[in-house]
Chains A and B, each alone.
Chain A
Amino acid sequence: MNVIQQLSSPTMYLICGGIIAFIATVCVIFAVRAWRAGKAIGMDTAVLKRVVTSSASFSVLPAVGILLGVIALSGALGIPWPWLRLSVIGALHYETQVAQGAAEQVSIQLSGSEMTASAFATIALLMSVCIMWGMILNLFLNKKYTNRLSKNSSSGSSFGDQAMTAMFIGLVSVYIGSYLGIWISGNGRFTFAGSVLPLLTALCAAAVMAILTHLAEKLKAKWLEDFSLALSMLAGMACAALLNTVVK
């Protein structure tokens, strides 16, 4: 059995699947606790149900995108390890980059034909070490940080909600700005030779979101609000698949 076969062996599935099962259990515990706490402080069950429905429907498409990351990495790292990485703690944009960087440190290309047992163990450890800092910060500072934020928000200021909305607007602007930048200067400053596809996809999703929001408001259809984000994303992605044949 060569290394790449070993990396997709039942033992590997058992190790990685076990960790994923643990995280899934943690998610169920957090969800049940949040639901019960919501009910205990008087939140409407219908609202909690809408949160569950909209979150589940929203998550399907990005999850399929993440599955592609598993497929992309499986050629070099087998299936179970990328499956674990992208189910737990990992991020789609992060894994390939770090795996590539780690492969360079052990002087191999990130491919199944060059993979050795030692190289895999090293790459796997580096992938874990590089991304664990958010969790470590949470471990030591979450309580202090959130307590301080609670004190600030209960000290009479009502700016907290507006600040969070503003922060998210800033975050969205960074990404939309980057799509514009990729198109205009992605292949040399002001050459307009970069890919316009991310920008067009974003515009298409925004247009469909506008239509769905208008419909939901006009028809007073709450259910449509819950699915509008998922449907807009689907439309944006369909638009990308269609436009890919005519633009770069």
Chain B
Amino acid sequence: MSREETIARYERSTHRLGRIVSVVTLILLVGAPFVIGSFLGAMPDVSAVVRGFAAVGLVWTVSSVVEFLVYTPMLGSGGSYLAFITGNLINMKIPCAINARDVAGVKAGTKENEIVSTLSIAVSSLVTILVLALGVLLLQPLQPILQSEALQPAFDQVVPALFGAMAYKYYRKNLSLAVWPLLLMSLVFILLPTLQSQTSILIIPGGGLAILLAWLHYRKEKKQ
């Protein structure tokens, strides 16, 4: 079988499998509260769910649309299906896939990247499932250690540690591209402190500016 045929077959089956498991996961996740409710002897209050969705859910819906538009091109089809099923995108799956792309030396948009990102997200999800399962199993002995006053700040700062390391890795090779988005975003968060809790929404303008600068640089290089 030729490379093209192999890829086409892989892609077709990825979409088929991705859709099937997405539907099954959705049924399981929405159905679970009802199954648990019947076990507990009380069903969910649907009107409270509707009110709650209006109060807290709409923000997350907008955030989901942004995440889908931004992350899907980074992850490819297989990686996207899996990442949106397993969650923890920004604090784990996206940096993991980007790091794997660098380790493998593949380029975004290629079939190799699609494969690397799917593999990295699958492995990352399995490690998370394993760590959480072990953690739950050993919750009694682990709880005092993990929640100790000394270690608490370390675990509160997982995401800053992650983005600090990633920032060095990406800024050093693309400093001219990084300066303006960093400056603009810093100013936004300094001047409008209320946005500090809305970081996911600001990914669009931050990323958009970086892409615009990269495009201008690309055009300039092409002309030369």
Contact = CB atoms under 8 A, between A and B. Distances in A.
A169 B215 contact: no
B165 A229 contact: yes
Interface residues of A, number: 157
Q: Which of A42, A51, A162, A225 has the most CB of B within 10 A?
A: A51
Given A37-B115, A41-B3, A130 B126 contact: no
B154 A177 contact: no
Contact of B44 (A61, A118, A176): A118
B6 to A, nearest CB: 5
B157 A182 contact: no
A83 B142 CA distance: 15
Contacts of A102: 48-49, 52, 56
Contact of A51 (B65, B116, B166): B116
Interface string A145-180: 110011001000001111111111111111111111
A93 B91 contact: yes
B26 A132 contact: yes
A57 to B, nearest CB: 9
Contacts, number: 567
Given A55-B123, A178-B189, A201 B133 contact: no
Nearest to B66: A134
Contacts of B112: 38, 41, 43
Contact of A135 (B22, B42, B48): B22
A29 B104 CA distance: 21
A71 interface: yes
A106 B65 CA distance: 28
A34 B78 contact: yes
B32 A15 contact: yes
B164 A204 contact: yes
A137 B203 contact: no
Determine the main DSSP class of B at the interface with A: helix
Interface in B174-203: 174, 177-178, 181-182, 184-191, 193, 195-196, 199, 202-203
B186 A177 contact: yes
Contact of B6 (A37, A104, A205): A37
B64 to A, nearest CB: 4
Interface string B110-146: 0110011011111111111101110110010011001
Sorting the interface of chain B by its residue count into under 10, 10 to 19, 20 to 34 or 35 or more gives 35 or more
B188 A66 contact: no
Contact of B103 (A51, A120, A135, A182): A51
Nearest to A164: B108
B217 to A, nearest CB: 8
A113 interface: no
B132 A87 contact: yes
Contacts of B92: 59, 62-63, 66
Nearest to B57: A130
A20 B133 contact: yes
Nearest to A127: B33
Given A105-B52, A180-B189, A34 B119 contact: yes
13 contacts: A35-B119, A61-B158, A67-B131, A68-B147, A89-B84, A120-B42, A121-B34, A131-B87, A132-B30, A137-B64, A173-B184, A203-B164, A205-B162
Given A26-B25, A171-B207, 18 more contacts: A27-B129, A41-B6, A62-B92, A63-B132, A89-B25, A91-B91, A117-B41, A125-B49, A138-B22, A146-B77, A164-B74, A176-B186, A177-B189, A178-B189, A208-B165, A213-B168, A240-B157, A241-B154
